[in-house]
A = this chain, B = another copy of it.
Amino acid sequence: MTPAFATEAVDGDARTGTLMTAHGAVRTPAFMPVGTHATVKALHPDEVRATGVDILLCNAYHLALRPGIDLIERAGGLQAFMGWDHPILTDSGGYQLVSLAEVAAVDEGGATFVSPYDGSRLRVTPEEAVRNQARLGADVLMCLDHPVAHGTAPDVARDATDRTHRWAERCRAVHPGDGRLLFGIAQGGFDAGARRDSARCIAGLDFDGVAIGGLSVGEPLETMLAMTEASVSEMPGDRPRYFMGLGTDSELLAAIALGVDMFDCVVPTRLARNGSALTPDGRLSLRNAAARDDFGPIDPECPCAACTGFSRAYLRHLFQSGEILAHRLVSLHNITHLARLMEETRGAIGNGTFEAFRADRDGRLRSAPR
């Protein structure tokens, strides 16, 4: 069997590669926009594709609650349901054990959630998490894991990491095959030794890819990078490495420098809806008075529909008026910005100039007027 992932260029620890899925290729390093509820907020799937993005993330936990796994399966799977005939990675719901801790309970068998919509109980075992994602039609399935919040007591964190390992074995045992890829998730809290141990344990289960979970949850940047480095050090070079829930331009480039291949983040679309546009020279607030009569685009070098068609002044007017088109255009821009950052990063790694590229981008961000 052909391996799903092939690395291409290597530059230091950074690398480019291709992950082959049943719905097409994912060029890495890759940024995945988040479509929690089977839609990237405010955007048509064809627009998302046109930004240069290869793969989306959807959330199996949220979709199980609404509209339900059955319905999406009967619709022909997520791709048919949401009009995106390209790769999809689904998150298992593990992260919701942190983000929705007040409605979630964990036992050795699995996780139990209370639906915020109707109070019903949703039970997810590791086996069901995998099965549900396969029924959704995802190309890349994530194991059910047990992350913890930053600041959790070490023994509680250790317990959760151990459980993550046992759950990973159970997930691995029900790998659906059938062209679908299953990724393990390494935890380990905020201890480098535990991070290495967890990565080694997950790597030993021979998943199609390995994720770094439980980071970028409020810890200092140095901690995050140290934990990432520790995790990556025990991950196989021939599998894709996925940092869950990152991030800013600088953070993405720092993680890529450590050998990470895949990312997802809600921030670019969330920032967009708040009026904040990403540029190589930092964030631009379109709600600020400075934009009021600025007839230039967000970023003159950006080819997106917002930058080629509309001025900062118009976008500010739309935000001031509470108009949906503002959310659309800036969401489209922010995703385009990150897709282009990944494209340029892949080019720089291919040319062996990644560190210079990274230094240049970081320099521009540091010298940005605030």
Contact = CB atoms under 8 A, between A and B. Distances in A.
A310 to B, nearest CB: 6
A144 B323 CA distance: 27
Given A42-B325, A44-B325, A309-B83, A74 B293 contact: yes
Interface in A286-345: 292-293, 295, 305, 309-311, 313-314, 316-318, 320-321, 323-325, 327-329
Contact of A41 (B42, B43, B324, B329): B324
A71 B323 contact: no
Contact of A292 (B38, B67, B293, B317): B67
A66 interface: yes
B324 A37 contact: no
A294 to B, nearest CB: 10
Contacts of A323: 37, 39, 41
Interface string A21-59: 000000000000000011101111000000000000000
Contact of A325 (B43, B74, B75, B314): B43
B83 A44 contact: no
B38 A295 contact: no
A82 interface: yes
Contacts of A318: 37, 39
A75 B318 CA distance: 15
Contacts of A357: none
Contacts of A314: 38, 75, 81-83
Contacts of A74: 293, 295
Contacts of A325: 39, 41-44
A197 to B, nearest CB: 39
Nearest to A74: B293
Contacts of A324: 41-42, 324, 327-328
Interface string A74-85: 110000011100
A293 B71 contact: yes
25 contacts: A37-B317, A37-B318, A37-B323, A38-B314, A39-B318, A41-B325, A42-B325, A42-B328, A43-B325, A44-B329, A66-B321, A67-B317, A71-B292, A71-B293, A71-B313, A71-B317, A74-B295, A75-B295, A75-B313, A81-B313, A81-B317, A83-B309, A83-B314, A324-B327, A324-B328
Given A39-B321, A66-B317, A81-B313, 5 more contacts: A37-B323, A43-B325, A67-B317, A71-B317, A324-B324
